[in-house]
Chains A and B, each alone.
Chain A
Amino acid sequence: MVTLTELKKDTRALLCNSCAKCSTACPLDGFAGFSPVRMVSVGPTADEVREQAVAAQRCLTCSLCEIRCPQGVHIAEFARGLRREATDGLREPCPHGQVFQAAAVPEWAGRVPSRDLSWIDEDLRVAETGEIALFVGCLPLFDALFEDRFGVRTTDIARSAIRALNQLGIEPVVVAEERCCGHDLLWGGDDDGFATLARANADSFAARGVELILTTCAECCRTWRLDYPEAVPEYQPRVQHLVEYLDERLQADELAFRDDDTARTVTYQDPCRLGRHLGVTDAPRRLLDAAPGVELAEMDRSGADAVCCGTAGFIHCDAASRRLQAERLASASDTGATTLLTACPKCLIHFACAQNEDGRRNRPSPAIEVEDLTIFTTRMLAGLEASSPGTNGERTEAVT
């Protein structure tokens, strides 16, 4: 059990001078019930800790506050630490019927499940063992719940990733015993559950000889790169978001876009986990810059200053989430772009949800298409002509 003092020490919260710049930066500012500065400066009484442990569940953990904090307090980590104090009765129920939390829990009645990999089209080449692996994450689960609801098929992201890697001559390892990366358990305050998952995944991937783990999800990427080494110190593979990897290959002239003179203006949503948590803001932009005909129009706030899509993981959602989504979509639309790209399936789903909701409630909705960056990039790679799967909402046949 970590004490409050230890938590404050670990996250530099002891250095907080209550300047409240965090609260000014917080996207939740204006919604009742949460204030980063109040959370970070929480006092030692049990009541106060309990109160802030409840409030901390609303934190987006987007870390926008952290880039303003003059003392360098790890505010999101602090929120995560406080959430551990929210015991059963105080814990907010998770959205979507807690289905992702249920899916994430490591114990599966004593059995090790073997995932269905039939979504990998026959023309795609994957390996049982090897140095480079694709961590698929929750994408097949999302399809089970969201494909019919608002036409988001997130396995297309994984298919695109495999296709792009195949194009580079790589047959990535896909592990059937793969489990949830544990992001939502970790950020929900369940450290033990997370550690078990991390151990199980690390064992599976280590056993396959994997030395580079690629993800298409910003949250998986952050979790593998920053949180797994703490939980499983003996296994330290390289971890990259596929976008980073493609960028590296591009810089090494191993990757080429095909010629396409279609002019398109796009904008890019930096996922919190990729942009602020991992500092990856240039790689996606270099990729888009190299793509022929693509012009990147930046939103008002981008890069390290980008605003969250409204929810981290599937931990908490409310009217604040809705407003952030609406504002972000409007901001994207204001750039003149026709497509909003993102490198995180959660952002994709949350924006698609907001657009679907606007449609249902007959609200004016910014006319902008939301698409995943991996799909968008793969579609333009040389040698993958015209028929790559997965524009948002369209079902396309596999490449022949």
Chain B
Amino acid sequence: MIGGDVRLDGGAAPHLLLTVPELQADPISVEAVAPAPCTMACPAGVNVKAYVSLIAEGRFAEALDEVRRRCTLPSVCGRICHAPCEPACTRSVVDGPLAIRALKRFVADVGDDDRVVAPVAVSKDQAVAVIGSGPAGLTAAHDLRRAGYQVTIFEAKPELGGMLRYGIADYRLPPDVLDAEIAAVLGVGIDVETGHELSSYEDVTALMEGGYDAVLVAVGAQRGRLLAIPGEDDSAAIEDALGFLRRVNEGDRTSVEGKVIVIGGGSTAIEAARTALRLGARPVEILYRRSRDEMPAGHEEVVQAEAEGVTFRFLAAPQRAVIRDGRLTGIECLEMELGEPDGDGRRRPVPIPDSTFFAESDRVLAAVGQEAVLDFVPNDDAAMVDRGLLAADEGTSMTRWWGVFAAGDVVSGPATVIEAIAAGHEAADSIAAYLETGTPRLPRSLHAPAVEYGLADPPPVESPPVPAPVLGLEPGDEFAEVEQAYTADQAVAEAGRCLRCGPCSECAACAVTCDRRHLLVGLAPDGATRPRTWLPLRTTAAVAGRLRANGSAAGGVASASGDTTDAAVEVRPVVVDYVEERCRGCSLCLDVCQFEALALRNPDDPESRVVLDPAACRGCALCAAVCPTAALRPAAHADGWWDAVLAAIFEPDTGDEAGPAVVVTCDTRPHAGSPAEGDVVACRCVGQVHPGMLLELARRGATRITVETCADCRFEDGARLAQQHVEETSALLAALGGDATSVTLVPAARPGAPDQAGAVSDALAMALRGEGG
């Protein structure tokens, strides 16, 4: 891909600046722009687009690594996350959002069967006590342990997992999946103490005095609320759904007889209803005071519940439990209608006068809210409690007790697993800062402001989401997992629907690969509708303008801000072009590769060829200069760069009989401003410009060829090879009857040392004039 032909000011002859990575002068900051909507929607900041992109490429293990960077419990989230990323998906307006949760579930299931989690070394002398082993506690413990702190989890129940184990039914989250997930978290070296309940203030102080430098309270909101209606305390047949679920999850599979009514519209209501159904209750009805649209429960959950036979009665609120002869017969309800929206934007239910009706029921499960059990807070400490929850600072997660932090449902009230994970991360960050500096972390915003990404033009071809398979309710195996995982093909297909909103996939693999941000950037071909390797990338307006001037900037996305322009460009690391079929296994390249990017496939096999590790390659292509078979070539050559350079230098008829002068230089030090007269050929490393290229320049009539070498370059052999090539070219020119002195080597200006640039430029000018040196 040709960078451009930017004409510099010069004399009569046109001066060209030809560089491969056109944008190197304007390094691209991937961090500076807003991520994709899915990533922005994730409370824990999981880079959704990155892992979806990796799944689309079939790179499942890397995808799972990407998930794990922010999501402690991928298998859990892959099953029960409420997936706020999905409604945010830009594809929603085309043919439905990507099934992102199902994709995460897929990689969590297949990503790394053979993963061994090794304990992390303890590098800090401080210890943290984490109370509660739900998602918030596990996440914070995991983060802090990986940061080198000693961490002990204290759990009241015999098994870890908190609400994940005792509040989520097995048919949604099988216990063995949870066990494996927790084992992986604990694998980094977290100590666990079960049967340790936080029931008094002394329990907290004992920890602080017992060697723990910080305490995180993540005990959740364990108590289910009742309905607060007359009569509910008079019958054991009315209980809170959470207690019911906890009992079942603890192994009590006592059958449930008769008709069950569940009150509520959240996940717990659905879960309780489906669990009752599994234990034999018939019929099971959910009563909800608003309409279907306002239900907090996930759409799939509702659909699956209905498919299993759960019925719904909307716009109904319980008023009174009806008990006859000590036995519950049903509840008296009122019909409701929706009024004005309330504080959270949902329309408030308003009772319809005289609409009382009786709902027959043998059992009632209340799923109308949860509250924290705060027995460890002394009664008189009002500052510690806020509306039934533990009060913690929003920015630092610290409670009013110095050194005691809180996170998860105990602070927020009942929320979702991914929100708890997010809270765990934030608390861990703050605790680490507190232990490091004595001050908890100051509030910071996790996300940049939202950007709305539009659709490419033309819009993508419709291809609706692939639903994950769902199993029906099987008698005899009622608690088997309902949702099934994608096959690999299905996952790749579903991930392939991603529209790649926002700037590239934000995986930052390029930055890891390229310590100088040398990226090969080119234009998307005309009419391309975001093919896989062409990622929309935010560039500066100036660069985009140049790109457009050179061709066309296809694609492009709508941008909220005015000072930047979007152009669809390709970003890929500059890696040497390697064609294994041409390799003869001579191993010359191994001697010049300082990045260990090249190795013999099998050193014991005398016929072994070389393999290239693209992740290690820095693209200097010095190997290409020594490769005798053209198996290795500078990346740009595969794109016809060299031919275009020759054409640009020699094809314009300048009327100058002397022929052009050419300066071969490194592309990281802009040649502009140098006194050297001539067309500049900027390449990744001048050491890659071999005698064949120099000879071709001379043969075509270049009167002077100056190769600038850098003594300080990280491409250690570059200068040596450049010198060898210049000498060889001189010898070849002499043998052929050309001007052996027309090819010269000069040291280039040192980057970042402008005071020396003048002297070096003088040397350059002298060399160009053919004077000494």
A residues apposed to B, CB below 8 Å: 33, 88, 92-99, 101-103, 105, 107-110, 113-116, 140-141, 143-145, 176-177, 316-319, 321-323, 326, 353, 357, 360-361, 363
The contact sample of 10 A-B pairs, CB cut-off 8 A, is A92-B630, A93-B630, A97-B691, A102-B696, A105-B699, A143-B731, A317-B582, A360-B586, A361-B586, A361-B606
B573-590 with Cβ < 8 A to chain A:
581-588
Which of B584, B609, B732 sits near A103, CB closer than 8 Å? B732
**Contact of B584 (CB < 8 Å), options: A115, A140, A321:** A321
Distance, CA A102 to CA B734, complexed state (A): 14
The one of A92, A94, A144, A323 that contacts B731, using a Cβ cutoff of 8 Å: A144
Closest to A314 in B: B628
Contacts A144-B728, A145-B691, A361-B585 known; list 9 others, CB within 8 Å: A95-B628, A96-B628, A97-B693, A99-B691, A99-B695, A176-B737, A177-B737, A318-B631, A361-B606
Residues of A within 8 A of B736 (CB): 103, 108, 113, 115-116, 141
| Docked CA distance A115–B736 (Å) | 5
Q: If A317-B584, A357-B586 touch, does A145 touch B629 (CB 8 Å cutoff)?
A: no
What is the 8 Å Cβ interface bit string for chain B, positions 412-449, against chain A (1 contact, 0 not)? 00000000000000000000000000000000000000
Q: How far is the CB of A46 from chain B (nearest CB, A)?
A: 22
Cα–Cα distance between A80 and B442 once the two chains are bound (Å): 74
**Does B625 belong to the interface (CB within 8 Å)?**
yes
A141 interface neighbour in B586, B696, B732, Cβ under 8 Å: B732
Tell me if A322 and B732 are in contact (CB < 8 A).
Answer: no
B289 beta carbon closer than 8 Å to chain A = no
In the complex, chain B residues whose CB is within 8 Å of the CB of A316: 629
Pick from B584, B728, B737, B738: contact of A319, CB under 8 Å: B584
Residues of A within 8 A of B527 (CB): none
Pick the residue among A95, A176, A361 that contacts B587 (CB under 8 A). Answer: A361
Does B690 reach chain A (CB closer than 8 Å)?
yes
Task: Tell me if B734 and A317 are in contact (CB < 8 A).
Answer: no
A95/B588 in contact, CB under 8 A: no
Cβ contacts B587-630/A at 8 Å (1 or 0 each):
11000000000000000001101000000000000000100111
By a CB distance below 8 angstroms, the chain A residues around B737 are 113-116, 176-177
A349 to B686, alpha carbons, bound, how many Å? 27
Q: Are A113 and B728 in contact (CB under 8 A)?
A: no
Which chain A residues border B643 with CB–CB below 8 Å?
A: 88
Contact residues on B (Cβ < 8 Å of other chain), bracket: 35 or more
Residues in A with CB closer than 8 Å to B732 are 99, 103, 141, 144-145
Q: Which residues of A contact B116 (CB under 8 A)?
A: none
Please tell me if the beta carbons of B606 and A318 are within 8 angstroms of each other in the complex: no
B700 near A: Cβ within 8 Å? yes
Which residue of A is nearest B631, CB measured? A318
Residues of B within 8 A of A102 (CB): 692, 695-696, 699
B672-696: which residues lie under 8 A (CB-CB) from chain A?
Answer: 690-693, 695-696
* B231 sits at the interface (CB 8 A): no
- Tell me which residues across on chain A come within 8 A of B696, comparing CB atoms: 98, 102
Flag if B585 contacts A322 (CB, 8 Å).
yes
Closest to B581 in A: A318
Contact A115/B699 with A96-B692, A97-B693, A98-B692 known, Cβ cut-off 8 Å: no
A99-B735 contact, Cβ under 8 Å, with A319-B585, A319-B607: no
Query: Is there an interface contact between A318 and B701, defined as CB atoms closer than 8 Å?
Result: no
The answer to whether B274 has its CB under 8 Å from any CB of chain A is no
Most B CB within 10 A of own CB, among A96, A97, A102, A116: A97
Nearest 4 Cβ contacts at the A-B interface: A109-B701, A97-B692, A113-B737, A144-B731
* Inter-subunit contact B690/A97 (CB<8 Å): yes
- Given the complex of chains A and B, what is the CA–CA distance between A102 and B735 in angstroms? 13
Residues of B within 8 A of A116 (CB): 734-737
Find chain A residues with CB under 8 A from B701 CB: 109-110
Instruction: Give chain A nearest CB distance to B423 CB in angstroms.
Output: 57
CB distance from A345 to the nearest CB of B (A): 14
Distance, CA A141 to CA B585, complexed state (A):
25
Quick check: is B633 within 8 A (CB to CB) of the other chain?
Answer: yes
Q: Is B659 an interface residue (CB 8 A)?
A: yes
Closest chain-A Cβ to B22's Cβ sits at a distance in Å of: 23
Contact B607 A323 (CB under 8 A): yes
B606 touching A109, Cβ below 8 Å? no
Cβ-defined contact, B629 with A95, below 8 A: yes
Contact B699 A360 (CB under 8 A): no
List the A residue with the shortest CB-CB distance to B703.
Answer: A109
B718-773 interface with A by 8 A CB criterion:
728, 731-732, 734-738
Q: Which residue of B lies closest to A93 (CB)?
A: B630
B587 touches A318 (CB 8 A): no
Are A360 and B581 CB-contacts (below 8 A) given A99-B732, A323-B607?
no
- Say yes or no: A99 contacts B692, CB within 8 Å: yes
Q: Return B251 CB to nearest CB of chain A, in Å.
A: 61
Residues in B neighbouring A176, C-beta threshold 8 A: 737
Contact of B659 among A105, A109, A357, A360 (CB under 8 A): A109
Chain A: which residue is nearest B643 at the CB level? A88
Q: In this complex, which of A92, A98, A110, A114 has the most chain B Cβ atoms within 10 angstroms of its Cβ?
A: A98
Q: How far apart are the CA atoms of A144 and B625 in the complex, in Å?
A: 16
Q: With A and B bound together, what is the CA distance between A110 and B737 in angstroms?
A: 13
A86 → B minimal CB distance (Å): 15
Give Cα distance in the complex from A71 to B628, angstroms: 37
Residues of the A chain whose Cβ atoms lie less than 8 Å from the Cβ of B630? 92-95, 97-98
B699 in contact with A109 (CB, 8 Å):
yes
User: Which residues of A lie under 8 Å from residue B607 when comparing CB positions?
Assistant: 319, 322-323
Residues of B within 8 A of A93 (CB): 582, 630, 633, 637
Whole-angstrom distance between the alpha carbons of A326 and B585 in the complex?
A: 12
In the complex formed, the residue of B with least CB distance to A310 is B584
Report A-chain residues with C-beta under 8 Å of the C-beta of B693. Answer: 97
The chain B residue sitting closest to A97, CB to CB, is B692
Residues of B near A103 (CB, < 8 A) are 695, 699, 732, 736
Min Cβ gap A164→B in Å is: 22
Please name the residue on chain A nearest to B624 by beta carbon: A97
Contacts of B695 in A (CB 8 A): 99, 102-103
Q: How close is B181's CB to chain A, nearest CB, in angstroms? A: 46
Cβ contact within 8 Å between B628 and A317: yes
* In the bound complex, CA of A182 to CA of B359 (Å): 100
* Residue in B closest to A176 when the chains form the complex, CB atoms: B737
Chain A residues in 8 Å Cβ range of B735: 115-116, 140-141, 143-144
Chain B, Cβ-Cβ closest to A136 = B735
In Å, the complex CA distance between A323 and B586 comes to 11
Q: Which of B631, B633, B643 has the most CB of A within 10 A?
A: B631
Q: Whole-angstrom distance from the CB of A336 to the nearest CB of chain B?
A: 23
B724 to chain A, nearest CB (A): 9
A318 to B581, CA, bound (A): 7
Q: Which residue of B lies closest to A360 (CB)?
A: B587
A114 to B740, CA, bound (A): 12
B606 touches A317 (CB 8 A): no
In the assembled complex, the CB of A55 is this many whole angstroms from the nearest CB of chain B, namely: 12
Docked Cα-Cα span, A102 to B693, in Å, equals: 8
Q: Which residues of A contact B734 (CB under 8 A)?
A: 116, 144
